[in-house]
Amino acid sequence: MPIKDAYSNNHVDFEISNIKYEEDSTVSGDVEERIGELQAEISNLETRETSAVDATIDSIISKKEEIRELRSQSSSGSISFEYSAPAISIDSAGRFIKHEIIGGMTVRQKIGEDPMNVDISGVCKESVAKQLDELRNAKYGDIFSNRLPGESLTVQFASVSTSPLDDNGAVALTDSDSEFLYQYTISAVEVDL
């Protein structure tokens, strides 16, 4: 297999969607609080007279973009990844029972499958890391990747870990923005609903 095919087949897009949070979850309250903070910051920037007009306009635009992103994520219950090629490991097993036949050989019979365990690790920005930290309040969600059988799986999030990419912090720099990068690890277990 050529290297281009191997790379594209093994490094695939990933998304978490249809997240159902527990009734007492504070996720929506946190989102609304953050949106309120951003709107107050925008109001302050719009009324302030400054010599750095371009910087103020860029700041307002980035804050409005963050508000749009927060609203879309809170309404859809999904997490999108800018760096969408994580390492995905799958652990699957079948259930078997042994029958010993008197005077004969042992027969193994398949009686079902264990739930699939999926481990996902990758890199994300700080805003996504905060969303991942809230998965502890999730009942279940759907993960999508063509690495998965059927390209999607409904799972419970057994554990989620986020940590800075580097000890002193690594930053993704662009012309208009910068944000700290984090490593994440998600352990998920397949569920039937």
Q: Where in the sequence is the domain holding 104, given as residue range(s)?
A: 3-22+79-190
Task: With a cut of 50, list the residues of the chain below it in pLDDT.
Answer: 1, 75
Question: Residue 33 is which amino acid?
Answer: E
Residue 72's pLDDT is what?
54
Residue 75's pLDDT is what?
47
Residue 151: closest CA among 113, 124, 183, 118: 118
Question: Does any domain span residue 68?
Answer: no
Tokens encoding 164: 């800075």
| String of DSSP letters for 113-167 | EPPPEEEEEEEEEHHHHHHHHGGGGEEEEEEE-TTSGGGEEEEEEEEEEEEESST
Residue 1's pLDDT is what?
46
Question: Does any domain span residue 95?
Answer: yes
- Give the three-state DSSP class for 18: strand
Residue 191's pLDDT is what?
93
Predicted confidence (pLDDT) per residue in 40-93, tens digit: 777 777 676 655 566 667 777 777 777 666 655 554 578 888 887 888 999 988
Residue 184: closest CA among 159, 158, 149: 159
Residue 118's pLDDT is what?
95
- Supply angle C-alpha 152, 156, 158, rounded to 5: 125
Residue 34 makes CB contacts below 8 A (sequence gap 6+) with 70
Question: Does any domain span residue 73?
Answer: no
CATH value at residue 147:
2.30.110
Residue 141's pLDDT is what?
92
Question: Does any domain span residue 148?
Answer: yes
Question: Does any domain span residue 45?
Answer: no
Question: Does any domain span residue 118?
Answer: yes
- Give the three-state DSSP class for 86: coil
Q: How many domains does the chain have?
A: 1
For residue 86, report the phi and psi dihedrals to the nearest 5 degrees. Answer: -80, 165
Residue 91's pLDDT is what?
93
Tokens encoding 34: 């953050």
- The full length of the chain comes to 193
Residue 122's pLDDT is what?
92
Residue 121's pLDDT is what?
93
Question: Does any domain span residue 131?
Answer: yes
Question: Does any domain span residue 40?
Answer: no
